[in-house]
Every structure is written in structure tokens, then in C-alpha cells.
Structure 1
Amino acid sequence: MPSSQVQTHTISESRYPWDKLSILLFSIAIILLFWGIGWRAPWPADEPRFAEVAREMVATGQWFFPMRGGELYPDKPPVFFWSIAFFYWMTGNLKISFLLPNAFCGLLTLVLVWDLARRLWDIKTARTALFLLLLAPQFLIQAKNAQIDAMVACWITVSCYCLIRHFFLSPNWRLYHLAWAMMGLGVITKGVGFLPILMFIPMAVYFFPQRHALPKAFSKRAWFGPLVMLAVIAAWLIPLLILTGVNDDPQFQAYRDNILFRQTAERYANSLGHLQPWHYFISSVIPVFWFPLPFMVIAFWKPLRDSWKRYPVVWVLLSWVVLVVVFFSISPGKRGVYVLPALPMLALALSPAVDLLDNKRWLHWLIMTVLTLIGVVLFFGGIAGIAGLEKAVRELEEQTLQAGVMLCITGGIWLATLWYRRTHNAYLTMGGLLAITWLIFASWGYHLLDPNRTPKAIMAEIAHSVGHDSELGLVNFKEQHILFSSQTVTHFSYLAPIAEQERRAWAWLHEAPDRYVLIPDSAKVSCFVMSKGKDMGLAHRRHWMLFEPSSAEPECTPPQSMRKFVTQRPYPW
């Protein structure tokens, strides 16, 4: 714990103009964040679902309740979907709009980390914080995907930024209340937006012995902060309760109960998916996806210890990072992206201690060894792909050759660069290689992977085979089948058991002519003869079979209900 005698909360809020190196770093960041947008479609697991929800918001005008295929989507609040829908409404291009929100959130996160380091210390430290955040792989991975975590991490960063400025620079009540407002926005984005509250624990430990030192920052006005957060949440929650309360459709009550209880406290305390041991983040996620920042903590331990004694804000930030990791480690359900909100504050906390020109010998060779292993895997993985095609293996497609060439070239660049710069600064070498790799992957790689990560070819083949005016029923499907269909699509409740979906599909198939049903070959069906289905191709590791009335069983157990959802020719591309 820092000494109570250190009065570093009186740090002056100095201002510096933009310098050339900061402009260069931000220019590189902008290129990396926005490079590749519009060059690929949404990819599983979450992106097609979120893009379809946003598309339906714009198509139907129903923005309050997220829906996929006309059925309520009860797993997430609507804020992230609103952002995609807004850009889709503005641009009319879903291929561009679904990646824009996180790109802007990533840029805002970088700006806030840079600006806070500049205000707390100096412009050199700000550049270090910016570079460290760009260096950690998880940041760009999430900023270039359409998952909710990058957005909620941005709102949490805004909140932390405001709290730090209020308590460790000059008191600013607008920023203080904005911090709580952003927590509320984070909660209605993905539940865990309240995490900045944990920062009050280390701040209380530090400020309590000297509570007389900051009377302005800790006045009675501080109690209005939680009310601001609750007001933001209530702006969404009260209409939700009213609209679901007056609606007779039970799916709206189920949506309310799921979003308020099952997806929050129940999911945290008794998660049924993504079960991992308590040390999962410490042993498997942070060393890999935050590399090399955790090892910098060890390499620069002495200056880091000196910096938190001199600047208690560093101790507060590091304590908060630990508390966030502990918070997520307690829950049995864990995914690597959960700890992303802590990464920007870790980069900020390390920035006054890390000297990017100080090539710590063991850390230098650790980074160079890890990068060399990655380069070897890329190069020889590409060679294996090319050699496989030369042996005329029938299963390999044209993309395999191109992918092999891409991997071989990328690996060659890595190995040549690492050899040339083997004694040079390892941090800059890693940053440069990651930047080059993202430029290659987000252009050439997107082009190669897009056909294999979407069902576009299968849905086009179905429309060509049976006609665009026919109707298509879906059983045991994924949202991407709706997203890429140029036909009117009917599904039988994503939430219904597969057997019930099949029975409803069988009855629907016989109600009108020119109807077909699409089912994966892995499904255990009793109302359709799998051998009579027409194989439409492979997508998402499964073959998809198309059935017409003649390929169905003559009889089928009647369904419990005929609940179905119809989407009129959704194809947005």
C-alpha cells in the first residue's frame, strides 16, 4: 500500500500539444482499425447474429426489442445492436456498418489512454501507453471484430478516465457524473459495465488515512453518481418493463426475465457454458493475449514499484486490474474476452515505468523467441498447404493454395525481419510485425476466408436450384442462413427443441406448394428421409440437406404448436 505521506493527488493537469510521434502512432492505429472494413461479411460465432438483429431493426422499424428472424433475441441488451443498425441506416451497407462501431470504440479507447497518460505525466509517457495498448494482441483482435466486448470495454475506459481525472487531477463534477453515466450505459450494453465501481476500493484504501486532503472531490455531491447510473439504466429498463407488461405474447415476458435475471446474476453465479478453472485468465489468457505486457511487469518491476510509490494512481490502476481479473475468475463461466476491459488500464499503469528504449535482455530474447516460433509456424504451415495441393489431394480447394502462399509470405516476412533485427529493439519489432500481419490478414486473408466462413454459396445454390420465389424453411439453423438468404425464410423458433422444429417444418412443408426445408445432415430427424435430401454443400463443418415434400416421411408426429417466424427476402448484400 502506498504511503499516506505521498501527496500525488495534487498532480497538475498540464496540457501538451500533439507531437509528431503521437500523430504517427495514431495514424497507424487508424489504418489498422479501419483496414478491411467492407471486405468481409459477418463471421461466426456472434457476428452474423448481431448483424441480423441490426438489419431487422432497420427493416422493421422495431428498434427497442432485438429480434432475429422475427423472434425476440433474449441474450443481450440492445445498445450494441443499435450502433450497428445506426450505421446500417446511415450507409445502407451492412458489410461496412457491422464493423464500424468497434473500430470507433477502439479509437476512442486509444485516445483516452493517451490523453490520460499525457495529463498525469507527460507526452513521452502518453506515447508509451498508446504503444503498449496497441502491442497487446487482444486489443486489435476485438476492435476488428463485431462482438460486444470491445464496446463495453470502451465505456468502462471512459468511466475510468473520468474517475481518474476527477480524483487524481483537479475535481471535475461533470466528468465524475459522466463516469457513472457510462457505467449505466455499460450495464445496458453487457451487464458488467459497473466494473469501474471496483476502483473505489483501492482509492478508499489510499485516501482514507488522508480523507481531509480532497474535500472537493469527496463532497456530498458524490452520492448523486450512483443515481446518474441508475437513471441511464432506467431509461431502458422502465420502457422494457412497461412494454413487456402490457404485451400478451409470452415471449415478451420470457425476454424480460431472461435479460434481467438469467443473463446477469444467474449466468455469473451458475454459468452452464464456457466452464474453466479459476486460474484460466492468469494461466491461459493474459500471458498470451496480453503479451508482452505481463512480462513487462516482471522486467520493469523496480521502476514500476517506484512509480506507484511516487504516483499512487499507478497503484490504484494496478489494484483495479487485479480486482477485475479476480471478479471474472470467481465465476465458473469464463471466456478470454471477459478481461479485455482491464487491458487499457494496465497499459496506462505500466507507461510511467516502462522505457521502450531499454531492451531488457531476457525480455528481448523472450519476445524474439516467441515471434520466431510464430514465424516458423506461419512459414512451414504455408509450405504444407502448398505441398498438399501439389500432391493433388482432392479435398483441397483453390483457397488452400492461396492460403498457403499467404502464410508462407507472411512467415517469410516474419523470419527475415527477425533475423535482420535480432539485436534491435524487440518491442518495435513486434509492433511492426503485428501491423504488417494485420494489413495482410485484413485484406488477403479476408478474401480467402470469407467464402468458407459464410453460407453465401449454399444459399445462392438453393435459390438457383428452386427459384428465388420459393419459400425456405430452416431447422437447427444459424442466423447466417437468414442473413444470406435471397428467399423468404421461415423458421420454427430458434429456442424450440430440434424435434419440435422438425415437426413444425414437416407440417409447414405440406401446407402450400413451392416450399423446401433445409436441415444439417448431423441432425437426428424422424419426419424426413435423410438419404432423399439433396446435398447443397458444406458450411460451418456440416453438410446441409434440402428437402421437398417427396423426400419427407408420409406421416409425422403433430407438433405441440405451429409457432413460426417469417422473414421476407432478407438478403442485404
Structure 2
Amino acid sequence: MATATVVLGAGLGLRDPWPADEPRFALVASQMVDSGNWLFPRRGGELYADKPPLFMWIQAALLQLTGNLRIAFLLPSVLSGIACVWMTYDLGRRLWSKQAGIYAGWALLLAVQFTLQMKRAQIDPLLLAWVTLAHYGLIRHIVRGPDWRMWTVAWFAAGLGVITKGVGVIALFMLVPALALTFSRKMSASWIGDRRAWLGPLALLVAIGIWLIPMLIAVWIHPTQENLEYARNILFRQTIQRYGNSWHHFQAPWYFLVVIATSWLPTIALLPWAGPSLYKGLCRFDERLWLPVGSLALIVLFFSVPAGKRDMYILPGLPMLCLALAASLPDIVGRVGVRRLATAFVSLLGTATATLGIWMLASNPRFEVKLLTERGSSEDSHSIAILVLLASLPLLVGAALSLSGSAWKGLLTGMSGFWVVYGFAGPSVLNEASSSRGLMEQVSTRIGPSAQLGLVGWREQQLLMSQSATAEFGFNRPARQQLATALSWQQERQDVRWLLIEGSVLENCGDRRPDPSLQFGVANRRTWWLIPAGALSTCETSIR
């Protein structure tokens, strides 16, 4: 747990929110604090209906508590990761042994996707924590119970998952294998044969009602077109319609099998050794295996059906994989083949990372230059190479330990050290460009402290990082309408108003584009133009 706290917390407070999702949620949370309106989240001037508000509520509460956005936006992910490691350990301890629990916790912490995702301020880490808490409560009740308090906690956690991200009900998929074992008389029915079982669904509704009931009451009292559209969007379009008719992130049906085989390394690589024991346990209808394995299978199946898929969707199944492997890990970690696997993994990863860093430092490869250029980074082209080389050092130390006979110490040292270096050194190289802080500081210096800035075609990080008095003209509005409104706004105070415009928006000007000298910079793979009053007079005519 100490290692998990250091690994997951490394770099907390050292960087600003980075795209794609972090600036959006941080902006919504900061606007909640500024406006005092927490019930209807806003992105700029528009209601934000893509996700329920619980994650943003937590960020906003932490922002009020700490007064530091750099801490508040990332802390929910860090705490969620630590909680998931502990719950996985504790379940392994309760189901098998303390040693198995420790191995299960390490298996989760070492999995690449888990640690990478916990170092991002997206919704999925918090969702993972709620789903894992629900699984924790269900297993303690069904397998080690009855424990009606944990049963109720599990359903309440599933409800919190729903108001974090609508798919929180996936936590209840665990009931399917539990019911199957019960009805086939392979498991006692004591976990369900009691009137107190109704406490679970009631707790689910109470948790969902924390947000849903006040929101619906507010819409009923103030049935404006904006409020009604918000309710329709978040209750139907972002749930049922999005699942049945995805409109982005299209992937093949077998996409998640590739994610598991790659992103869940090195944990998933233990499956060939743990598989026979796992198979025998399933054949014996051991509920300690059926519940986590069944949940994992149903989660993967559920997200494989729609065409739209993202790698983090199946992350809630990873703790269940670690728990299912926990029974076998104490017996297999000492095997020669498994130790060789651990040695090979950390050695290959360390060698590849060091080789990449040396190549980048020596030859200044095109992809490195392209990456820095697209992000508008002011760092020297060798800065990323140095970062990669620094990250390779703990991996090489781990490889040396593994090759000297301490395979597992080497793997733990290498992987933990890699994430700590990434957490502390990464922001110094990547933050200025990734967060748009550098761009917005340059804009503020250029236009002066008394000027006003209008954003057109903006992304959340521009508004969040703006250092000037800032206006925006809609996020989802068509670019042509944004530009027309912005030009009218600028004409009202030509002496102090500037426009920061994303390059593709100026395509609406046709052959009346502004002077190329007004192109201001590049950030987040987009070109930005800083336009003073009058510079788009010809474009204004064509827009109208």
C-alpha cells in the first residue's frame, strides 16, 4: 500500500489538466465553484450533459477544500486507485489467504492500464472505484456472508457509479453467476432468501436519487428549453442511444481482446500458468472464482456489443481478473518459467526504453520533432529524449536485479520506478504545451492586462488556462455562427478586444483569410490565430 500510494501519487500537484478529457471536467468543476450552481454543470455558457455530475462535484468540493486546481482535479483518481488496490488485496485475503491478497494487489498495481489510468483525471478511475466497491460488498455478502450491511453498500456503490457514468450498473453483473450457481444448487441461497435483500435495490435508487431527483424537480419548476434538452440528453441520448447507436470510437468486436492482451500486461501473461488451476476451480463450481470470472466476462461482452469502444471501458474487470488469479499466484510465482517471464518483461521494456531514448537524443528523429511541433512545445527537441532516458533507468535497475536472481524484486522496482519518474519528470516537459498554459500565457502577454479576449473554435483547456478577461460564443455552436457573434462582440470595443481563433474556423472566410502574420502559435495539434479589431473586416462581410 505504501508503494501504491507513492506510485499513484507521484506528480500530484505538478501539472495542469491535459486533453482529451481532463480540461473539460476541471473546467466544469471550476465553474461550479465560481457560479455556485452545482446541479446543472456548464462548459462555458452551455449546459454540459455528456456525463452525470458526481465526478465533477467531487473535483469542485476538493477545489473548494484545497484552493488548488492542480491537486483537486487529479486527487479523485489517486484516491480511487489506492482504494482499488486495497479492496483487491482485502478480498484476496478473505477468500484465499493473506499471501494471495498481497499478490492480487501487486497484480493490479503492476498492470499497465491500471496505473496509467489512475494517473489521469478522467471519470473512469472513479467509476472503477465504485464498481470495485460494489464487487467487494457483493462478494463479502454472497461468499463470506450473509452480510446485509455489505449487500446494501454494494448496491449503493453501484448507484453512485450510475451518477458518475451511466454504466455503473455493470457492477451488478456479478449477480448473474451468483444466481446461476444458486438456482443450480451449487451454492447456498442464504444470500438472497431474506426480505432484507430488498435493501439492495432501495440503496441503488437512493444513490441515484441524490442527483436525479433534485435535477428533475428543478426541470419541473423551471421547464426552460435548455433545461428540458439537458434532461433528455443525459437521460436518453447519452445512455440508451449512445449504447445502441454509437457515434464515435468505432472498433472491431474483438477490440477488447487486444486491449486485454496488451494493456493488462504483465498480469495477463500469468494466465498460461494460472489457467489450469483456474479451470479446475470453475469446474468445481467454486463461487470464489465464478463470481469474479463471470463479472469479467459479462463486462467485456457488454462493451463489445456496441460499435463504439474505448480501451478504458473494460477496466472495471481488471481487479476481478487479479482476484481470480490470486488463488494460484502463491503457487506459481516461484516457478522457473514465471520468474523468467518477469525477468524478460522488465529487461525488454528497459532495453527498449533506453534504446529509444538514445536514438531520440542522437538522431533527433522526425516523430519527436513532429510531436513537439504539433503540441506547440517550447522545449528543446531533446527534452523528450531525456525524459525517456530517465524513465528507462529504474527499468534497467530492475532488469539487473532480475538477472541477478531476484526476478520479482526487479519487476517491482523497475515498474514502480518507471511510474514515479513519469509522474515527477513528465510535467516539466509536457505540461506547458499539453495544457495550453504556455499558449494562454503568451496571449495574455501579447494583448496586455487590460484587454479582453474572445475565444472562437476553442477547446476546454483554452478557457480553463486563460489569463485574461475572457468571453466565448458557444462550444457546440457551428463555427460560422461563433465567428459572426465574436466579430460583432469585438466591434463593440475595438480598443481592448481581441479574438483567439482556431485555424479551421477561418476556412469560413474563404479567400478573405487574415494576414498570415496573425498566426500566433500551435497548441494541442491546432493552429491558433490572435486577431485584433479590424483584421477580419473582409471576412466579416463574407460571413454575413
Report the TM-score when normalising by structure 1: 0.87
Q: Quote the offset at 1:543 in angstroms.
A: 2.2
Farther-moved stretch of structure 1 (299-308 vs 461-470): 299-308
Residue in structure 2 matching 1:262, options 219, 237, 246: 237
Count of aligned pairs between the two proteins: 533
Which position in structure 1 is the counterpart of 2:436? 455
1:410 and 2:391 are equivalent in the alignment: yes
| Separation of aligned partners in 1, 2:198 and 2:365 | 70
The AA in structure 2 aligned to 1:175 is M
Deviation at 1:457, TM superposition (A): 1.7
- From 404, 411, 430, the equivalent of 1:430 is 411
Q: 1:480 aligns with which of 461, 474, 485?
A: 461
User: Does the alignment pair 1:552 with 2:536?
Assistant: yes
**Aligned partner letter, 2:463:** I
Alignment match, 2:492: 511
Counterpart of 1:34 (choices 3, 9, 13) is 9
CA–CA distance in structure 1, aligned partners of residues 212 and 200 of structure 2 = 18
**1:360-392 residue CA offsets vs partner (Å, 9 max, x unmatched):** 44554455444444323321221233224699x
What residue identity is the alignment partner of 2:318?
L
* Matched residue, 2:265: 291
Unaligned runs of 5+ in 2: none
State which drifts further: 500-509 or 288-297: 288-297
Q: Distance in 2 between matches of 1:356 and 1:488?
A: 63
The alpha-carbon distance between structure 1 residues 423 and 359, as it changes in their structure 2 partners (threshold 3 A), is farther
Q: Distance in 1 between matches of 2:468 and 2:429?
A: 26
Amino acid corresponding to residue 525 of structure 1 in structure 2: N
Q: Which moved more, 1:404-413 or 1:345-354?
A: 404-413
Q: For residues 406-463 of structure 1, what are the alpha-carbon distances to aligned partners after superposition, in whole Å with 9 as ceiling and x for unaligned?
A: 3224335434542552363544432221101111111112211111212112211211
Aligned residue identity for 1:228: A
Is the contact between residue 181 and residue 228 of structure 1 (CA under 8 Å) also seen in structure 2? yes
Which structure has greater helix proportion?
Answer: 2
Deviation per CA, 1:315-365: give whole Å up to 9, x if none: 221111111101101111100000011111111111011237634445544
SS class of match (1:465): helix
Bigger CA drift: 124-133 or 364-373? 364-373
Equivalent position of 2:509 in the other structure? 526
Within-5 A mapping of 1:222-371: 222-247=197-222, 249-283=224-258, 285-308=259-282, 309=284, 311-355=286-330, 358-371=333-346
Amino acid at match of 1:34: G
Which residue matches 1:15?
Answer: none
Query: Is contact 2:361–2:382 with CA below 8 Å preserved after alignment?
Result: yes
- The CA deviation string for residues 108-127 of structure 1, in whole angstroms up to 9 with x for no partner, is 11121111222222211111
Q: 1:287 to 1:464 in 2, by over 3 A?
A: same
What do residues 246-281 of structure 1 show as CA deviations (whole Å, max 9, x unaligned)? 335422222111111111111111101000000000
Whichever residue aligns with residue 360 of structure 2, its letter is: G
- TM-superposed deviation, 1:103: 0.9
For 1:470, which of 440, 451, 457 is the aligned residue?
451
State the alpha-carbon separation in 1 of the partners of residues 269 and 360 from structure 2.
34
Task: Provide the rounded CA distance (Å) in 1 between the counterparts of 2:62 and 2:337.
Answer: 47
Counterpart of 1:210 in 2: which secondary structure?
A: coil
Structure 2 match to 1:47: 22
Q: TM-score, normalised by structure 2?
A: 0.92
Supply the distance in 1 between the matched residues of 2:360 and 2:388 (Cα, whole angstroms). 9
CA distance in 1, matches of 2:6, 2:390: 21
Q: Give the CA deviation at 1:242.
A: 2.1
Alpha-carbon shift at residue 165 of structure 1 (Å)? 0.9
The 1-side partners of 2:54 and 2:255 are apart by 29
CA contact (8 A) 2:390 2:421 kept: no
CA displacement at 1:185 relative to structure 2: 0.8
Spell out the pairing of 1:491-502 with structure 2 (5 A cutoff).
Answer: 491-502=472-483
CA displacement at 1:150 relative to structure 2: 0.7
List aligned pairs for 1:23-422, cutoff 5 A.
26-210=1-185, 213-215=188-190, 217-247=192-222, 249-283=224-258, 285-308=259-282, 309=284, 311-355=286-330, 358-388=333-363, 398-415=379-396, 417-422=398-403
Would the aligned equivalents of 2:292 and 2:324 in 1 still touch at CA under 8 Å? yes
Give distance in 1, aligned partners of 2:515 and 2:360: 33
1:65-124 per-residue CA deviation (whole Å, 9 max, x = no partner) reads 111223211111100001111111001000111111111111111121111222222211
Q: Distance between the aligned counterparts of 1:488 and 1:208, measured in 2?
A: 64
Instruction: Read off the aligned partner of 1:411 and give its amino acid letter.
Output: S
Amino acid of the structure 1 residue aligned with 2:413: G
Which shifted more, 362-371 or 375-384? 362-371
Question: Residue 557 and residue 464 in structure 1: after superposition, are their counterparts in 2 closer, same or farther (change >3 A)?
Answer: same
Q: Which amino acid aligns with 2:326?
A: S
% identical equivalent positions: 35
**Structure 1 counterpart SS, 2:381:** helix
For residues 160-214 of structure 1, the C-alpha deviation after alignment (integer angstroms, 9 at most, x for no partner) is: 1111111111211121111111111110100111112211111111111338933
> Is the 8 Å Cα contact of residues 187 and 287 (structure 2) preserved in structure 1?
no
- RMSD over aligned CA atoms reads 2.5
Q: Which runs of 5+ in 1 are unaligned?
A: 1-25, 561-573
Residue deviations 1:109-163 (CA, integer Å, cap 9, x gap): 1121111222222211111111111111111111111000010111011111111
Provide the C-alpha distance between the structure 2 equivalents of 1:345 and 1:315, rounded to a whole number of angstroms: 10
CA 1:186–1:558: 2 relative to 1, 3 Å: farther
| Other structure's SS at 2:350 match | helix
The AA in structure 2 aligned to 1:303 is S
